[in-house]
Structures are given as structure tokens and as C-alpha cells.
Amino acid sequence: MAHGLIAAVSVLIIACPCALGLATPMSIMVGVGKGAQAGVLIKNAEALERLEKVDTLVVDKTGTLTEGSPTVTGIISLSPGGEISLLRVTAAVEKGSQHPLGMAVVRAAHEKGIVIPAVSNFNARRGKVSQAMSKVNGLLLVMNWLCRKTVSLLIIKRPLRIRCGWKALPLSMWPQTGTLQA
């Protein structure tokens, strides 16, 4: 059976290579179109191909699995012992933000009793970057949201010296959810 299939595909490739070249993109477009009709957004063909390997999909549309509120679970500073300082300046940038991840950073700073410094010229580009100017030492603080899972903070100081740090902000699971998450 397998030999027959290989022979058939070989004949198809030799006789009409264009048909096979068109069949693959056409089937992907049909899959994306059918998904769109069902209200599913498929961003690229790779996502569609990877979906074939999925055996279980858990969707939390109603908030029954997660609390729906991100929390800061870890802070990594490139400066030894700089986690509190990093959280302070990160919260300063995000204090004016309405983004759920920004609000999680501010909440984490309040929970640790950190006094959040005032900033000026707060600017947030929707879904991209928050930036603010600190009155102390003329710092320009830029907050980049990366990979939808982590946060990167650049502190650009005069003379140009750059420090970086990351925070992990996953959604917290309801305690009664158990071990459903991967």
C-alpha cells in the first residue's frame, strides 16, 4: 500500500509538478478560510500545521480555569540584588498604564511595600511600549512587552548606560482547577 502511494505521488510530481505545488498552499488557504468562518483566527500556516499535533485544547473564555489577572511570579535583574530596584522603576513606568500586565507590575510593587517614584511624559503605545521620564537623574524608562509572556525594561541613563531585566507574568490558575495546565 505504501509503495503504491509513493509511486502515485512520484508519477504526479513528474507528470504535473504544478498541481502538487498548488495543492499545498490551496489546502492551507481552505483551512484558514474554514477557520475564519468558524470565528477562529489562524495567523500563519505554521500555526495550522502545528495544530495537527495537538490532542487536547483547553480554552478559558469564561475565566473558569484562570483568575484572568496576571501576577508577577519572578524578577530577574542583571545587577546582583537589583530585583527591588527593577520592580520600583518598572512600576513607575507602568503606574499610568491600563494594560493588565502593567497593572500586575504596579500591584506587585504595592504588595512588597515599594514606594513608586513619580514620572512625567508617560506615553503608552497600545500593545507595544510604555515609556516615561523620571525626574530623578533624568532617566528615560522604556517598557517593552515581549513574546506575550515576559517583560523587558531598558533604563537609559545619561551618559548612555543600559540595564535590563525581565519579569514573568503568567495568569494564575484557580486553586480548584487542579493540574490541567501543561
Is 169 within 8 Å of 160 (Cβ atoms)?
A: no
Judged on CB neighbours under 10 Å (0-12, 13-18, 19+), 70 is: buried
- Strand order of the β-sheet with 74-77 is 74-77, 161-168, 150-157, 140-146, 129-134, 119-125
**What DSSP state is assigned to residue 78?**
S
Active site residue 60: yes
Of the residues 45, 60, 122, 140, only one is catalytic, namely 60
Query: Which residues are the active-site residues?
Result: 60
